[in-house]
Amino acid sequence: MQLTGSTFPYARDRLPLARALAGIAAAGFKFVSLGREHAQGTLLHDAGDKAPLDELREAISSYGLRCRHASYGQFKGDARSTAELLDYVRAGSYLGIQDVTVLAPERFELVDDCRQVPKNEKTMAAEREAFVAGMGKALPEAESEGVGLTLAPRPGTALTGEDLRELHGALGSSNFAVCYDPVQAHFHKGVDPTEDAAAVAGITRVLL
C-alpha cells in the first residue's frame, strides 16, 4: 500500500506546485499524486520535448517524494478527449506513474443563466456510451505504456459501488480498475461506504 498526498487542495487554492510538494513532504508522505492542472498551467504534457517533464521529476524528487498516481479529470470519450488522455498517459509513463484516475461525465450542466441543472436521461445515456467507447480505445495504449486507468465515482454516470462495478464489467479490461471514494458515495447517495465498497472490493486499485 502507498499512502499518497494529493496536490489537488493546493491547485484548488491556486498555490504553486513547490508549495504543494513542500506541504506534502512536511506531512510525512513519501508519495505524491499530481492533478492535471496547477497554478502554472498543465503539469503533464508530452509534446516531444521531455525537458519540462525532467524538471518536474527533479522537483518532485528534491522533496524526497515519488509520483505513482495522477488524476486526469473528466473524460468524455470523444476523439479529442481520448487523444488528450493518451498524451497525459504517455507523459505520466515517462515519470514512472502507474495509475491515472479519470472521472466519468458529470450529472449537471451549466445553462445560460449560470445555473447547474441535471442533464436528461437521454443525454446521460449518450455520454455514458461515449465514455465506454473512448475508454475502450484508450485502455490498450495505456497498457502498452505501463499505466493503468481507474475510474473515480461522480454523481451521474458512476457513483455507487454497483455503478462502478457495472462500468468495469462493460469494459472488461484487466487494465481498468476502480478508484473508490467513500465520501462521494455517502454524501450524494447517503449509503454506508463499508457496505457499498463490497461491490468493488476485488476491482479497486485506488482509495481516496
State the DSSP string of 173-194: -TTEEEEE-HHHHHHHH---HH
Look up residue 156 and give its DSSP letter. B
For the segment 46-60, what is each residue's pLDDT rounded down to a tens digit? 767 789 999 999 999
**Alpha-carbon span 87 to 127, nearest angstrom:** 22
Q: What is the mean pLDDT of residues 76-103?
A: 94
Ordered alpha helix ranges (H), the chain: 8-12, 17-26, 51-62, 79-95, 121-144, 161-171, 182-189, 193-196
Look over the chain and give the mean of its residue pLDDT values, rounded to a whole number: 90
Q: Which residue has the cell 508530452?
A: 46
Do residues 31 and 3 lie in contact, with contact meaning Cβ atoms separated by under 8 Å?
Answer: yes
**Alpha-carbon span 199 to 89, nearest angstrom:** 27
Residue at 129: amino acid letter:
E
**Alpha-carbon span 104 to 106, nearest angstrom:** 6
Write the CB contacts of 105 (distance below 8 Å, at least 6 apart in sequence).
74, 76, 124, 127, 128, 130, 131, 156, 157
Do residues 86 and 141 lie in contact, with contact meaning Cβ atoms separated by under 8 Å?
Answer: yes
Do residues 73 and 103 lie in contact, with contact meaning Cβ atoms separated by under 8 Å?
Answer: yes
**Number of other residues whose CB lies within 10 A of the CB of residue 85:** 25
**Is residue 178 over pLDDT 70?**
yes
Report residue 118's pLDDT band, with 50, 70 and 90 as the boundaries.
confident
* C-alpha cell recorded at residue 88: 497525459
For the segment 24-44, what is each residue's pLDDT rounded down to a tens digit? 999 999 999 999 888 878 888
**pTM score:** 0.90
For the segment 145-159, what is each residue's pLDDT rounded down to a tens digit? 999 999 998 877 788
**Number of other residues whose CB lies within 10 A of the CB of residue 137:** 14
**Alpha-carbon span 180 to 152, nearest angstrom:** 6
Q: Quote the pLDDT of residue 47.
A: 61
**Alpha-carbon span 47 to 30, nearest angstrom:** 28
